[in-house]
Amino acid sequence: MKNTILEYFLKYVKIDTMSMEDQNKVPSTDKQFNLAKVLVKDLEELGLEDIKLTEHCFVTAVLKSNCNSNLHIGFVAHMDTIPGFSGTNVNPQIVNNYDGKVIKLKGIELNPKQFPFLNDLVGKTLITTDGTTVLGADDKAGVADIMAMLNYYVNNPNQPHVNIHVAFTPDEEIGGGIDYMDVKGFGCDFAYTVDGLHYDEIEYENFNASSALVEVSGLDIHPGSAKGQMKNAARIAMEFDSLLPEFERPEYTDGYEGFNHLCEISGEVGSAKLVYILRNHDKNKLLKQQNDFMNTEAFLNNKYGKGTVKVTIKHSYSNMRELIEKDDRCVKRAEVAMRSLGIEPVSNPIRGGTDGAKLTLMGLNTPNIGTGGYNCHGPYEMACLEEMELVVKTLIEIAKEQ
Ligand SMILES: [Zn+2]
């Protein structure tokens, strides 16, 4: 099985699928079709049914149930890699029987002192970058894991399984790709994104998210004769930020703690602008954070005059937990699958959003499971083949008739 996983994985990571911000189209880059077409071919070779590639670069296919099961389970992974770091000419390096020492790559090194998890991977097979690109394990490890699971069932036709639906999707890294998914057409009772890290992860809590735009209008007057009149928007913008709770910032928070993150500040005397993202797993706590923004607006308008500060809050996405709890077959099934392999499932709150959270809100409960990848989004990215194998075994168990 390891060879099958590795073969798929190495083939997919070598295909450049970087997505790109601000393109106003899905997929954001045409090159994502290059992987999509290879996947269509691989699915055809496996003999899957209803293989489709849409104009928005969604690849879907079905392996029909070979037993009495009427259950339809979906497995989803994204094809694109992050826009922030090169995914061109990925040259994966294989480290067999890892000896626990520093792994030297071009210009960088994977050092167990910096990445202590490496100490747990001694003796394992690691796949790294050559130091100059991402690896694309996020999320081609997920794509390869799903393909290896399909490969297992196609080659073991006596093993009873449910209806297995797969979807390989575009533009996860820039957000928004999944909005073009035909959830009804996918036809599943529930699904999983295979887009986490560790093989023992089952994640079904993510942030509730909104954004806040703070616009400050000042009054620009010659500084020599400004006494009692000038309203310096840049300074008022700084004051706005200083009035927000000091410790509710990303650099001070962890686990279930929410934050307000100042992503952008710009301005001069006449006008200034602050852009924040607000995050919390707890809906009511997020409302409190939003209230802090509105109260700060009111306070500063009282101090500097009506209309000085204008806050606009927009909803971004919601925590999937509430919906998952209403029908938690997906979580329960994954937990049973992992335990049958001797894996104790771990559920950490995701400090971000996932495509699965969006799918859940679109009506398809979709928690997230791990891939066997590490250190996403940069040249330190790597994967552990034995952990990918555990993920594939978990997927096989999930799809098994129970
Ligand atoms: Zn991902």
pLDDT confidence band for 250 (50 / 70 / 90): very high
Cα(196) to centroid of ligand 1, in Å? 7
Same domain, 290 and 280: yes
**Residue 193, both tokens:** 């994104």
Same domain, 329 and 307: no
Q: State which residues form the domain around 223.
A: 208-317
What is the arithmetic mean of pLDDT over 239-251? 97
Q: Is 60 helix (H, G, I), strand (E, B) or coil?
A: strand
Is the confidence at residue 203, as pLDDT, over 90? Answer: yes
- Which residue, 289, 317, 345, sits at the end of a domain? 317
What is the arithmetic mean of pLDDT over 373-391? 96
Cα(370) to centroid of ligand 1, in Å? 10
CB 15 within 8 A of CB 32: no
Cα(58) to centroid of ligand 1, in Å? 16
Cα(322) to centroid of ligand 1, in Å? 23
24-28, 314-318, 340-344: range with lowest mean pLDDT: 314-318
Same domain, 385 and 266: no
Same domain, 187 and 218: no
Q: Is 401 helix (H, G, I), strand (E, B) or coil?
A: coil
Same domain, 232 and 308: yes
- Which residue, 317, 338, 357, sits at the end of a domain? 317
DSSP 100-125: SS-EE-SS-EE-TTT-GGGGGGTTS-
Is the confidence at residue 11, as pLDDT, over 90? Answer: yes
Same domain, 289 and 301: yes
Cα(173) to centroid of ligand 1, in Å? 7
Is the confidence at residue 2, as pLDDT, over 90? Answer: no
Q: What residues are annotated to the active site? A: 80, 172
The neighbour count for residue 230, using CB atoms within 10 Å, is 16
What is the structure's pLDDT at 4? 97
Task: Report CA-CA distances (Å) from 148 to 41, 73, 300, 338.
Answer: 15, 16, 58, 17
pLDDT confidence band for 176 (50 / 70 / 90): confident
pLDDT in tens, 96-128: 999 999 999 999 999 999 999 999 999 999 999
What is the arithmetic mean of pLDDT over 81-96? 94
Is the confidence at residue 354, as pLDDT, over 90? Answer: no
What is the structure's pLDDT at 353? 79
What is the arithmetic mean of pLDDT over 204-208? 94
What is the structure's pLDDT at 361? 93
Cα(246) to centroid of ligand 1, in Å? 31
**Residue 44, amino acid:** E
pLDDT in tens, 299-334: 999 999 999 999 999 998 889 999 999 999 999 999
Same domain, 239 and 284: yes
What is the arithmetic mean of pLDDT over 252-269? 96
Cα(321) to centroid of ligand 1, in Å? 19
The neighbour count for residue 254, using CB atoms within 10 Å, is 9
Same domain, 159 and 253: no
Cα(118) to centroid of ligand 1, in Å? 21
Number of domains in the chain: 2
- Which residue, 317, 338, 372, sits at the end of a domain? 317
CATH number at 293 reads 3.30.70.360
Same domain, 323 and 302: no
- CA-closest candidate to residue 262, choices 247, 241, 282, 232: 241
Same domain, 9 and 137: yes
Same domain, 231 and 179: no
Cα(186) to centroid of ligand 1, in Å? 20
Cα(30) to centroid of ligand 1, in Å? 19
What is the arithmetic mean of pLDDT over 177-194? 97
pLDDT in tens, 40-86: 999 999 999 999 999 999 999 999 999 999 999 999 999 999 998 99
**Phi, psi at 50, each rounded to 5°:** 50, 45
Same domain, 192 and 217: no
The neighbour count for residue 341, using CB atoms within 10 Å, is 13
Own/partner pairs for 24-27, CB < 8 Å, 24+ apart?
Answer: 26/56, 26/57, 26/170, 26/171, 26/176, 26/177, 26/179, 26/180, 27/56, 27/57, 27/80, 27/170, 27/171, 27/177
Cα(236) to centroid of ligand 1, in Å? 38
CB 250 within 8 A of CB 259: yes
What percent of the chain stands above pLDDT 90? 96
Mean pLDDT of the chain: 96
Cα(87) to centroid of ligand 1, in Å? 14
How far is C-alpha 269 from the geometric centre of its chain's CA atoms? 39
CATH number at 329 reads 3.40.630.10
What is the structure's pLDDT at 402? 79
